[in-house]
Amino acid sequence: MTTTSDRYRQTIAAAKLQCSSCRTFLQA
């Protein structure tokens, strides 16, 4: 079973991988 939190974490992880240069923007 995949919970909403897990899916959210996976989405964030994918976004970080795709936009590693935008770390400052994500942290802000």
Predicted local confidence at residue 5, as pLDDT: 92
Give how far Cα 24 sits from Cα of 6, 14, 15, 19, Å.
23, 16, 13, 10
CB environment 9-23: b (16+ within 10 A), e (fewer): eeeeeeeeeeeeeee
- Total-model pTM: 0.45
What is the predicted pLDDT for the residue at 20?
64
Structural domain boundaries, residue 6:
1-27
- Count of domains for the chain: 1
Q: pLDDT tens digit string along 9-25? A: 998 888 777 666 666 66
- pLDDT at residue 27 greater than cutoff 70: no
User: Residue 7 has what pLDDT?
Assistant: 92
pLDDT at residue 8, rounded to an integer? 92
